[in-house]
Amino acid sequence: MAEWWQEFVKKFTIAFINHNRWRFITQGLANTLLITFFAVIIGIVIGFIVSVIRTTHDKTGKLKIGNAICQVYLAVIRGTPVMVQIMIIYFVIFASASSSYKIPLAILAFGINSGAYVAEIFRGGINAIDAGQFEAGRSLGFNYVQTMWHIIAPQAFKNAIPPLANEFIVLLKETSVAGYIGVEELTRGAFSIGGSTYDYTLPLLAVALIYLAMVVGLSRLVALLERRLRRSER
């Protein structure tokens, strides 16, 4: 037992303490959270716009061109892997961009990807609202846009909060592919340590535990949020 512990301490020291290699993990974690946070914001904006366009077309028959564009966007983004999307954005569309733009381009790629899934979340939230709400808006003298903004959107957003939180969790894990374009995110930090020490065991286990802790913590927050929303509806 003592020998095992001494060997573990030795490997831990080599992996994280020597040459301050722990900074690869902390910097990777910071970049992972940064990318996730801003990508979710972009995804919410894109998703809300797409959901409104598609719902408006479904209910009124208007915005045919916009709806067609949205359908193409959803089909392409939902039908291709996020790893391929981020590589196309970095190596093809913005091939001439400086390497200092890796993180902003990763945020853009994940935001565009997330928007396709958030759009369906919002669309489901809007469709779950009783049609009488639209009639109530008309009775108040609101046009379609005013009804959507003042009456429908707030209720739809409330309905969408739990699945949006789950989308945040999914996106948090998906950011691990940002390393393919050279972003020093959490997983790439582990590989940087492993490449220096020729031992990937402890770095990868550390990254797995960090991801697990974040996902479990966020999942519990989502469950708490859902319970509070259910109580507020009573």
- Distance of alpha carbon 23 from alpha carbon 209, whole angstroms: 16
Residue bearing tokens 């108040």: 140
Q: What is the CA radius of gyration of the chain?
A: 22
- Distance of alpha carbon 4 from alpha carbon 6, whole angstroms: 5
Q: Range of 63's domain?
A: 2-232
Q: Give pLDDT tens digits along the chain (234 positions).
A: 678 888 888 888 888 888 888 999 999 999 999 999 999 999 999 998 998 899 888 877 888 899 999 999 999 999 999 999 999 999 999 988 887 889 999 999 999 999 999 998 888 887 777 777 777 777 777 777 777 777 777 777 777 777 888 888 899 999 999 999 989 999 999 999 998 888 899 999 999 999 999 999 888 888 887 777 667 665
CATH classification at residue 30:
1.10.3720.10
DSSP 96: T
Structure tokens at 64: 């045919």
DSSP 21: T
Angle at 21 between CA 18 and CA 27, to 5 degrees: 160
Chain centroid to CA 14: 34
The total of structural domains in the chain comes to 1
- Are 212 and 50 in contact by the 8 Å Cβ rule? The answer is no
pLDDT tens, 64-88?
899 999 999 999 999 999 999 999 9
* Three-class DSSP category at 141: coil
DSSP 20: G
pTM of full prediction above 0.85 = yes
* Three-class DSSP category at 163: helix
